[in-house]
Structure 1
Amino acid sequence: MIEHDELAERFEAQRGLLQAVAYRMLGSRSEAEDAVQETWLRLGRTDAGSVDNLTGWLRTVVTRICLDMLRSRTSRREELTEHQVLDQVSEPARGSRPEDEAVLADSVSRALLVVLDTLEPAERVAFVLHDMFAVPFDRIAPIVERTPATTKKLASRARRKVRGTPVIPAEELTRHREVVSAFLSAARAGDLTGILAVLAPDVVRRCDPAALAPGMAAEVRGARAVAEGTVHFARRSQAAELALVDGAVGVVVAPHGQLLFALTFTIEEDRIAAYEVIAGPARLRRLSLAVLAG
């Protein structure tokens, strides 16, 4: 029989791994912490002395807990009001600390979390465990209740979704990436001159009502007006990252890994001729999102 203090010490030695697995599964720090805590409670109800591979056992248990949470999750599919959307962009997660958010941002990109959230639960489990933690398919299969061969197909399907398929040639994609990256960097810095440098003179910015602050127009035309409006986007742009949106270079705004806005761009002669801020939940669900490689 393993003593409680020894068991707690062995669990604490695995906590970092368990949190990493749970965070990638759930995309939420608080939910990941809940999953890890539940794993500890289940360990306390188990004869740990009979567990040959404690690391593997803990990883399996936390994954099953996460899988159940993914299957029952409905909150991210609900419609958000304009006020709720703006509040979530402006305010940090309850109980979060800046240093915690920085660590999570370094560990996995917001864009990847957004894309992972589009996967089916079993696909997400197979992809995360195999591609991120090198767990063999024969060990993942019992968790998702599939054969190893089918589990391998789940991971492969997830991988294709994560990578996406660009709809423009590679050279053009690279140029567009440079333009949008410069735009995003300037927006983050509140650099009006930098924003103007990548906008076409007659650029148009369109915005869904859910992303509009009081008094903002849904459509703005002209480089100066668009640039000045973009400067006010600076605070929100801290939670923005490049992504592949419908096969082209775009931006996702995802504080704490939760998708709130997506930006699509029309680029002509290496200048932004138009961009649109998509915030309506129904429109966001119709987008094809992938990680922008490179």
Structure 2
Amino acid sequence: MLPPDDDAADRFQPLRPGLVRLAYRMLGSIAEAEDVVQEAYIRWHQTDRSAIREPGAFLSKTVTRLCLDILKSARVKRETYIGPWLPEPVLETAGEDDLSEDLSLTLMMALERLSPLERAAFLLHDVFGLGFDEVAATLDRDPAACRQLAARARKNVRAERPRYPIDRQEGERMTDAFFAASRSGDLTALRNLLAEEVVSYTDGGGIRNAALNPLFGFRRVAGLFMGVARNDEGQLPPVLYRGLINGLPGFVTLEKDGMVQTTSLDIEDGRIVGVYVVRNPEKLGHLSGLAS
């Protein structure tokens, strides 16, 4: 006999935010993460919960396995994705721990380069603190294999961790300066902001105009934004949000086509080393309310 329905909801709701964070980090998609967590709730609702001693471990296992199933088909989709792939942008929400500070957009991209099992082992152990026995039960592997998976992932991810977290005020200053310079076509200001080895990723998903490959080096990145400024004809787009986007300083703008766009900046030693622009409307639907 299953416990009462209200017991299912009462025990599940406090765990939901953490499960969404786990699914988002696995999938890079807010909508898919929420769908996975809802499916996990349905399974939780249908389970004999009196036999479950650790609801958090049970639900983390369920969410991870659902994510692994999705990633099998996602790999095929990513191989045919038009242009650079970036995770869906998540804005910082006051009073909520939406993203841990050490999982920025650059780390999300590092996770994307891992195999699904490596990603799962790393997230479950290094980020969410599960022991390797629990990770092994989740992944149907022995603990030694899970240690190896996590170690390989850790080696690949370590290089993407920021050496020095940027001061929030400095991030805001750099963000404002980059917005003004990039959208007005101020090449001198861009020269003072961008590192020589800067890289730019623009994710349009084949739906909106975007560079089809990452752009490397000051000349190419500055050229991209000089072209954007010419297209804007000197009109700066409205800024709908300034703050952290996937742990990086950035802003959301309302573009000439009436659609929103996010821009995030990776800053090291006072220079911008990475510019990440999401234009794919399929990844921005959850931000449409900013424009209303």
TM (norm. structure 1) is: 0.59
Distance 1:225 1:187 in 2: 14
CA separation of 1:229/1:105 partners in 2, compared to 1, >3 Å: closer, same or farther?
farther
**Structure 2: any 5+ residue segments left out of the alignment?**
165-170, 213-217, 238-252, 254-259, 284-292
CA separation of 1:241/1:55 partners in 2, compared to 1, >3 Å: closer, same or farther?
same
After superposition, residues 1-294 of structure 1 pair within 5 angstroms as 1-73=2-74, 74-80=76-82, 101-103=91-93, 106-107=99-100, 108-164=103-159, 186-190=177-181, 192=186, 193-198=188-193, 211-212=210-211, 228-229=226-227, 231=229, 238-242=262-266, 250-251=273-274, 253=276, 255=278
| Alpha-carbon displacement from aligned partner over 1:148-204 (angstroms, at most 9, x marks no partner) | 1111111110011112389xxxxxx99xxxxxx99876333436353143579xx9x
Q: Does structure 2 conserve the Cα–Cα contact (< 8 Å) formed by 1:241 and 1:251? A: yes
Shift of 1:256: 9.2
CA separation of 1:142/1:221 partners in 2, compared to 1, >3 Å: closer, same or farther?
closer
Distance 1:224 1:36 in 2: 41
Shift of 1:241: 3.4
SS in 2 for 1:46: coil
The residue number in structure 2 matching 1:177 is: none
CA separation of 1:76/1:188 partners in 2, compared to 1, >3 Å: closer, same or farther?
farther
Q: Higher helix proportion, which one?
A: 1
Deviates most, 220-229 or 40-49: 220-229
Q: Does structure 2 conserve the Cα–Cα contact (< 8 Å) formed by 1:243 and 1:252? A: no
Distance 1:31 1:143 in 2: 20
Q: Does structure 2 conserve the Cα–Cα contact (< 8 Å) formed by 1:187 and 1:231? A: no
In percent, how many aligned pairs have the same letter? Answer: 32
CA separation of 1:222/1:157 partners in 2, compared to 1, >3 Å: closer, same or farther?
closer
Shift of 1:257: 11
Distance 1:223 1:114 in 2: 19
Distance 2:147 2:135 in 1: 9
SS in 1 for 2:11: helix
- Equivalent pairs, count: 221
Shift of 1:113: 1.2
Q: Does structure 2 conserve the Cα–Cα contact (< 8 Å) formed by 1:28 and 1:257? A: no
Q: Does structure 2 conserve the Cα–Cα contact (< 8 Å) formed by 1:15 and 1:36? A: yes
Q: Does structure 2 conserve the Cα–Cα contact (< 8 Å) formed by 1:113 and 1:257? A: no
Amino acid across the alignment from 1:118: R
What is the CA RMSD across the aligned residues, in angstroms? 4.6
Larger Rg: 1
SS in 1 for 2:266: strand
SS in 2 for 1:31: helix
Distance 1:253 1:46 in 2: 42
| Alpha-carbon displacement from aligned partner over 1:183-229 (angstroms, at most 9, x marks no partner) | 876333436353143579xx9x999997359xxxxxx9799977744
SS in 1 for 2:107: helix
SS in 2 for 1:69: helix
